[in-house]
Amino acid sequence: MNLKDRKIGVLMGGLSAEREISLRTGDAIYNALKVRLGYNVCRIDADRDLPEALKKEGIQAAFIALHGGAGENGAVQGLLEVMGIAYTGSGVLASALAMDKEFSKRIFQSRGIPAPEGTVLNKADYGPELIGELMRKAGFPFPWVVKPATEGSSIGVSMVEDSSGLRTALDKAFTLSERVIIERRIRGREVQVGVLGGRVLGSVEVRPSHEHDFYSYEAKYTGGKTQYILPPEMDAGALKLAHETGLAAHMALGCRGATRVDLIIGDASKVYVLEVNTIPGMTETSLLPKIARAGGLDFPALVEEILKEAFLPAR
């Protein structure tokens, strides 16, 4: 069957903290498929009635435009598999691993893929008396990065310069996750690598404005807060290593379709993987589309390539 004969649902919105970004991603994908490419497509807000909505609309393929929560952690992917509906992006296990920063880090370390050293703190074990013990046992100096184990878009992330800011950062992260990741902060250049269909599309360096200490939620989604360098301004050898590391992280988690791998390039061009995003932002100004466009793939063509990946053999 021709793909344009199938009923495609763009799954967007959802119930996570990243709902608004997902709606923007979903609208851009819908417009590319419907208006610019002529597909038979509808928008579906992925709330608790998602199974009924999929049945009612007669969806034959799902373009997942969800960010965070059940849309990105494998839950929606599992539902679609049970319902026999093809879908874009990574499968259940890869989605779950990539969304969970603790377990993805374990995979990277087992494969020799460099990631910042860190530790995990469970909410059930957290209390004011634990902070001193945590600082003694961490084994690495400040500054630290404190972040929820299962959120994206830099939501709940704090940069902690010394012990005075630690409790506030932990309290913030624990409002979003039962586990918190504490890592040694690597100062360096933030580079994002785009992967599609098992190949590197390219990369972009992000330089937040001076008012932002890192590529935060505000820096990501507020116009004029970040400078984007395409391609990153670094020597060919360092860029090649960044691309190889990004692809290795994608493959280590068993991802497929499109991903965006977030890296930090530290001293001596050492590359560290921060995370793999299995459903990267897909507005026309998001990073993956920027990377694709720089490589000659415009936004509608990128969307169509991602859709085609949904129909390749088993995950």
List the catalytic residues: 18, 153, 221, 260, 262, 275, 277, 281
Please report which helix (H) or strand (E) contains residue 290, including its range.
Answer: helix 287-294
CA distance 313 to 134: 46
Neighbours of 49 (CB within 10 A): 11
Amino acid at 108: F
Residue 193 amino acid letter: V
Query: Would you say 216 and 208 are in contact if contact means Cβ atoms under 8 Å apart?
Result: yes
Q: What are phi and psi of 130, to 5 degrees?
A: -80, -20
Asked if 105 and 145 touch (Cβ cutoff 8 Å), the reply is: no
CB 238 within 8 A of CB 269: yes
For residue 112, CA distances in Å to 224, 245, 254, 272 come to 37, 10, 16, 11
| DSSP at 32 | I
Contact between 108 and 252 under an 8 Å Cβ cutoff? The reply is yes
Count of positions (residues) in the chain: 315
Q: Half-sphere exposure of 108 toward its Cβ, with a 13 Å CA cutoff?
A: 28
22-34 as b/e: b if 16+ CB within 10 A? bbbbbbbbbbbbb
